[in-house]
Chain A
């Protein structure tokens, strides 16, 4: 198939970017979206132009590196997948495809379609862990039984890949779904409850400092999350935060 691509090009963080048009022939339906970009890049290189830089790594939907806004939606038109799992059979011959980087003040563009998501790392550093040292003699793993549905709920929250689609989708560029997923995972597990109050306060403080917007419960994040992280996690974080604030 033949595609008309409009792609954001930006030399570096300080440069002013713009959309550039490309026409690409010979795209096959069983290619992945990123393989389609690979082909475009091969063409550009052969013409002596600089290829389009985009983030990608595992190409199997788990590392969370790939991050493209495709036709106005994070990770493109399909749901429950990342860009690397998107295949060209979701498009038709002659389609125009607009490809942009994630847009958020807290995710500055590094080059072309690559953004800096280190804000997410800093939110995690503020408390996204349980403070235990490595020890040769910890408590036996089965010493504290955990109800299956609680463990499953914690797993559902923990499945977040930190891709940033929630921020990209949200009209407010809010990072609540991301932050709440980690807060939820630990708030649910007995091991995490010990420092739950400090954790939620510190992580929310960092999230606010990074310049993400406020949650207005539009639900866009939940729809676009490639791992189906639920809005319930945001409610849980709100709850945790309020109870932590009341406790002081």
Chain B
């Protein structure tokens, strides 16, 4: 096992979780009152963990940089949450959800963790309905489901296009109940700046009150990091502007291994970039691929004419269009997994078939869905021989009922009506499968430091299936971490409150203060955003949807240079002891500048293509990803050794006892 002990329970896969729960140590209710837990991040994973831990009786402190826990970026998840309920009777099961997730992740995730995820998925739906989450329902009053990419069943529960919002508000409500009871103390507009270790155990954090600028010490018996992903490394992404890697990276610098940093999800259906001023990319839910068909013109001349505005997409006949996903992947068609769809879009655009001004967009077309629904509606309402206009109108009404808010959002941003002309979309950075390495208990390599949700690396392997992020966040927070953490804390029942005046806290606070002073002392002329945008360009161009050795090496060098420039020259107005958004951003970008290099290094070392990680050197003649199970069937877990370039690789071999490794095919 070596240094990475995954602590997977032995025995048959289906019994592991139940057996583990029976065998781990518990903390009795009276003792829980004497134990403090810090939860950083209040999204689905952090919010649900905080609420459940407080329900169990622990004293919880939560921290979020937002002005309210309710604003964590889980709120932006649109499509839905998976659960193996098999309400549709279409043959779904815990095993099938497990299998789809492992296959979707291109066999780079840990079997036992994924099985547990599939197992507790059904509890999530029960729990959320009990909390009053208004999931969509059918006319019979039962819960409705939709389909997502990479699977052949309907298992996705949803609340309009705002599923993440509703689930987060559910968790936020559960938190509020505990805040009212005094069991959670919520620190908003606070940012964790460092993790404090005492005797090798995580015993607290240094945080900054973002309003007053004050540096605070908070101690606890365990620290849970649920701080989301690091996609903002790319500057342009679908992440919230404030999303950052600081908490995870600080923990990494203190000894937590960082796993699979190069596994990034590029979501295929986002609104394309419109110009240099752009700050943010907007996702169009994957659910749109249930009804939208993706295409580019068959002939390059047509693509050029469309780009120049001389031709309208609706003028092209069916024969003149290339529905490339349906052509390449007939079995899954437009519902192939995200990595496959994204790469296929890039392939077409690189080949010169892109359809917007910059040549980096493809069409997502609802015309045939509108006509199909319209015909159905006309038939069911007893119309005889309706004309095309009537059918189209009926169809538009149905599409509006399904996706109205998404269409409206598109129209607001792009100023084009997607009912009349196809949407233009392009892939964008959306999720990071990599994160802090955790064992079966979700503990990092630092005792007492746990990671949940997107912040850990655990369940999605090299590519995440749609509607699985919400599932994982809530599974970790509601059903896994609150129990597994007891195993660790059972040793702490006599420890008593952790003092914050120890030398360890002194040292950590000093580090934090020195770092901020150093940031403020930049002598150059460029703002934080200037460096962030530069980093983003390097990442997108050289570590993006496809990667190669030469460019990855260049990226490593360029990022290191940029980091040096940043630390010497970044210009930050204002002071450290007051509200200062530039200083907040600077601290985050400083960490991205380290992570970026490790990311490229990880991508360079992984000499295979799998999931979201596509190395140009490793592909089949048809341009599909070529995985190398012989040499790379492992989790890369990086140990911090000073500079990112010095990071030390540890490998956790992935053992598949219940699934046969196959080439992933969606044809």
- A residues within 8 Å of B by Cβ? 11-12, 28, 30-32, 34-35, 38-39, 42, 44-46, 48-51, 53, 55-65, 78, 80-81, 84-85, 87, 89, 110-111, 114, 116-118, 120-121, 124-142, 144-148, 151-152, 154-155, 158-159, 161-162, 185-186, 189, 191-192
| Cα separation A48 to B186 with both chains bound (whole Å) | 35
B130 proximity list for chain A (CB < 8 A): 130, 132, 138-139, 191
B157-170: CB near A (< 8 Å → 1, else 0) gives 00110100110010
B66 proximity list for chain A (CB < 8 A): 57, 63, 65
Question: B143–A51 contact, CB under 8 A?
Answer: no
Q: Is B134 an interface residue (CB 8 A)?
A: yes
With both chains docked as a complex, state the minimum distance between the C-beta of B125 and any C-beta of chain A, in angstroms. Answer: 5
B residues 19-75 in Cβ contact with A at 8 Å: 48, 51-52, 55, 66-71, 73, 75
A50 proximity list for chain B (CB < 8 A): 573-574
Question: B529–A42 contact, CB under 8 A?
Answer: yes
Which of A11, A57, A147, A189 gathers the greatest number of chain B CB atoms within 10 Å? A57
Question: A38–B172 contact, CB under 8 A?
Answer: no
Q: Is the interface of A mostly helix, strand, loop or mixed?
A: loop
B51 proximity list for chain A (CB < 8 A): 134
Segment from B294-302, B307-315, B575-583 that makes contact with A: B575-583
Question: B85–A141 contact, CB under 8 A?
Answer: yes
The list of the 5 closest CB pairs from A to B, nearest first, reads: A145-B141, A129-B173, A155-B134, A59-B280, A141-B129
Question: B143–A126 contact, CB under 8 A?
Answer: no
| A36: nearest chain-B partner, CB-CB | B277
Contact A146 to B137, CB < 8 A, known contacts A126-B180, A191-B132: yes
Contact A118 to B68, CB < 8 A, known contacts A51-B582, A151-B137: yes
Contact A38 to B279, CB < 8 A, known contacts A134-B478, A185-B134: yes
Question: A186–B412 contact, CB under 8 A?
Answer: no
Question: A62–B162 contact, CB under 8 A?
Answer: yes
Question: A46–B527 contact, CB under 8 A?
Answer: yes
Question: A57–B415 contact, CB under 8 A?
Answer: no
- B residues within 8 Å of A by Cβ? 48, 51-52, 55, 66-71, 73, 75-76, 85, 87, 120, 123, 125-143, 159-160, 162, 165-166, 169, 172-174, 176-177, 179-180, 186, 188, 211, 238, 240-242, 274-275, 277-280, 282-283, 408-409, 412-413, 415, 478-479, 482, 525, 527, 529, 571, 573-574, 578-579, 581-582
Contact A142 to B87, CB < 8 A, known contacts A12-B579, A46-B527: yes
Question: A138–B126 contact, CB under 8 A?
Answer: yes
Question: A87–B71 contact, CB under 8 A?
Answer: no
Question: A39–B277 contact, CB under 8 A?
Answer: yes
A87 touches which one: B85, B412, B479, B527 (CB < 8 A)? B412
Question: A151–B127 contact, CB under 8 A?
Answer: no
| Cα separation A32 to B415 with both chains bound (whole Å) | 12
A121 proximity list for chain B (CB < 8 A): 68-70, 176, 186, 188
A151 proximity list for chain B (CB < 8 A): 134-137, 141
A60 proximity list for chain B (CB < 8 A): 76, 238, 280, 282-283, 409
Question: A51–B131 contact, CB under 8 A?
Answer: no
Listed by A's residue number, 19 A-B pairs whose Cβ atoms lie within 8 Å are A12-B579, A28-B275, A28-B277, A30-B275, A30-B415, A31-B277, A45-B571, A57-B241, A58-B73, A58-B76, A58-B241, A62-B75, A129-B174, A134-B174, A155-B136, A158-B169, A186-B132, A189-B132, A191-B129
| B409: nearest chain-A partner, CB-CB | A61
B581 proximity list for chain A (CB < 8 A): 51, 53
B141 touches which one: A35, A80, A87, A147 (CB < 8 A)? A147
| B137: nearest chain-A partner, CB-CB | A151
With both chains docked as a complex, state the minimum distance between the C-beta of A38 and any C-beta of chain B, in angstroms. Answer: 6
Question: B177–A129 contact, CB under 8 A?
Answer: yes
Question: A148–B67 contact, CB under 8 A?
Answer: no
A147 proximity list for chain B (CB < 8 A): 137, 141
| Cα separation A120 to B186 with both chains bound (whole Å) | 14
| Cα separation A191 to B166 with both chains bound (whole Å) | 15
| A121: nearest chain-B partner, CB-CB | B68
Contact A146 to B141, CB < 8 A, known contacts A42-B527, A51-B581: yes
A138 proximity list for chain B (CB < 8 A): 123, 126-127, 130
| Cα separation A11 to B136 with both chains bound (whole Å) | 46
With both chains docked as a complex, state the minimum distance between the C-beta of A68 and any C-beta of chain B, in angstroms. Answer: 14
A64 proximity list for chain B (CB < 8 A): 70-71
5 additional contacts (CB under 8 A) given A35-B279, A154-B134, A189-B134: A50-B573, A60-B409, A84-B280, A141-B135, A147-B141
With both chains docked as a complex, state the minimum distance between the C-beta of B26 and any C-beta of chain A, in angstroms. Answer: 14
Question: A134–B162 contact, CB under 8 A?
Answer: no
| B184: nearest chain-A partner, CB-CB | A125
Question: B280–A136 contact, CB under 8 A?
Answer: no
With both chains docked as a complex, state the minimum distance between the C-beta of A140 and any C-beta of chain B, in angstroms. Answer: 6
